[in-house]
Each structure stands twice: as structure tokens, then as C-alpha cells.
Amino acid sequence: MSDERNDRGAGGRSGRRGGKEKLAVARRDLPTGPAWELVHPRCSRRRREDIEEVEAMVEAGETEIAHDELVWLLSECPDFLEAHVQLGLIALEEDDAKLARGHFGRAYELAIRALDAVGSPRPLPYELDGNKPFFQAAKGLVHSLMEIGRKQAAAEVCQRIAPLDPADPLGIQRIAGR
């Protein structure tokens, strides 16, 4: 675990609280032309090892510990999309589509706000690392919405993300039957 996480157990917090760090969007020049990528807050980039540990915990069946770690990570960095996605995946594993919808929906909402703040730029290709958690959240959200019978809401999410990456490498549109 990161030193920051270990400091928590001693009753202290190191660094500043991540609540002021927000998700942003930046233009990238690709060989195929200009594209856009989500730029994750520094607080989430610094916790890459923590997410890898959470993934290992989940694989080992230690979902309660993983859940607690993710909640702590979000308390330090609320715009940490990967933590929201992991909590959504844990909820799906526990057959709680409503809870999963909440976690995936929060990550989706954070990214949409960042995109809207700069005029909804496109393309936003999945292939760029910064965009992957957003599309994973959108996929989980559509899946969860379909599971709880909210087909119209799932279709609206699909409609919103379709022009961002028309290739749809995660097959999100197929989940909603579009």
C-alpha cells in the first residue's frame, strides 16, 4: 500500500485532501488526427499501486477488504474513476445491480461533467489510457440499468457515448440492444 494509506492507520493524513483535484480533458495529437483524453487528478494517478492491490484482493476473494480500501481511496480522491468502477464491479459480483448503477453512474457523471465543461469534444477514443475508466463505467452503467429494467436510461447513456468513440470496442451499444 502507498505510504499515504499507511499513514492513515497512524491517525494522520499526509498530503492535501484530494477533493480539490478534479477530472479534466486535454487534446492529444494522434497519427489519425486530434483526439481528446480525460486527465485524471494527481491524487488518483498517485494511487495506481493501490488499485492494483485492490484488483489482487478481489481476485483472491477478499472483496470486503477491497471495498474498504476503495471507500478510503474515494474519501481522499472523490474523482478517482477507477475506484468507482471497481466498487461497481464488486456490487455486480454480489448481484446488486442497483448499487452497481450508483457506483458506475458516479464515475460516468464525473466524466460527463468534465467533457461538458470543455464543450463535449470528440473523438474520445477508448484506446487512450485516460479514457478507459470512463468507458468501463459507461459499460457497467448500461449493464446495471438493463438489469434493473431501466432500458430507456440505458439507451440514453448509449446515445450520449456513441459519438465519442464510434468503434465501441467494449460493445456497449450491444448491451442495450442498439
Residue 21 covered by a domain: no
Question: pLDDT by residue (tens digit) across 145-175?
Answer: 999 999 999 999 999 999 999 999 999 999 9
Residue 169 is placed in which grid cell?
A: 470496442
pLDDT in tens, 3-53: 433 333 322 222 333 346 789 999 999 999 999 999 999 999 999 899 999
| 122 inside domain | yes
What 8-state DSSP symbol labels residue 113? H
Is the model more confident about 57 or about 15? Answer: 57
- Under 8 Å CB-to-CB from 37, ≥6 apart: which residues? 25, 26, 28, 124, 128, 129, 130, 131
Which residues contact residue 71 at a Cβ distance below 8 angstroms, ignoring those fewer than 6 apart?
Answer: 87
Domain residues for the domain of 48 are: 38-175
The answer to whether residue 93 scores a pLDDT higher than 90 is yes
Please tell me the predicted confidence (pLDDT) of residue 18: 38
Q: What confidence score (pLDDT) does residue 2 get?
A: 41
The pTM of the full predicted model, rounded to 2 decimals, is: 0.86
CATH code, domain carrying 123: 1.25.40.10
CB 108 within 8 A of CB 157: yes
Beta bridge partners of 38: 25
Average pLDDT over residues 64-90: 96
**pLDDT in the model for residue 20:** 64
Q: Is the pLDDT of residue 1 over 80?
A: no
Asked whether the predicted pLDDT for residue 129 surpasses 80, the reply is yes
Q: For residue 21, what pLDDT is reported?
A: 79
Q: What is the mean pLDDT of residues 113-130?
A: 95
Average pLDDT across the chain, whole number: 89
Is residue 33 in a domain? no
User: Per DSSP, what are the bridge partners of residue 29?
Assistant: 34
Query: Number of structural domains, the chain?
Result: 1
Hunting for cell 474515494 — which residue is that?
74
Q: What is the reported pLDDT for 165?
A: 97
Domain membership of residue 6 (yes or no) is no
Question: Is position 164 within any domain?
Answer: yes
Q: Within a domain: residue 48?
A: yes
